[in-house]
């Protein structure tokens, strides 16, 4: 393998990695935090988005309350967030409502 090809592959990998970090927004940042068990950060990032009607954030807050991750487990609050997302046609939230209601 020649050096030019290796350099081109390395540059491509770096460009893809940088593009992903630039494309990441609050939703992705919150998901990354939740995956690393930093639930306080995840909730802090999702809540303002959920309050603005962002369906993914609403659903994810429902999951956090359903599982008691970073908050006290509260099925009523979980159902409230699931319902907001479900009312927008978000299928995972509709399924979660079917489990809880």
The larger pLDDT score, comparing residue 48 to residue 19, is at: 48
Give exposure, 2-32, as e/b (b: 16+ Cβ within 10 Å): eeeeeeeeeeeeeeeeeeeeeeeeeeeebbe
Whether pLDDT at 29 is above 50: yes
pTM across the whole model:
0.75
pLDDT at 9: 39
User: What domains lie within the chain, and their CATH numbers?
Assistant: 25-100 (1.25.40)
Averaged pLDDT, 61-86: 96
- φ, ψ of residue 43 in degrees (nearest 5): -65, -40
């Amino acid at each position: 393998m020649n050096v030019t090809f290796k350099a081109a592959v390395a540059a491509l990998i770096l460009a893809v990695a940088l593009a992903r970090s630039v494309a990441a927004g609050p939703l992705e940042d919150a998901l990354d935090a939740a995956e690393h068990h930093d639930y306080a950060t995840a909730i802090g990032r999702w809540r303002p988005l959920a309050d603005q009607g962002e369906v993914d954030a609403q659903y994810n807050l429902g999951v956090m309350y359903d599982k008691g991750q970073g908050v006290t487990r509260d099925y009523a609050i979980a159902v409230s967030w699931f319902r907001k997302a479900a009312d927008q046609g978000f299928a995972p939230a509709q399924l979660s409502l079917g489990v809880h209601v």
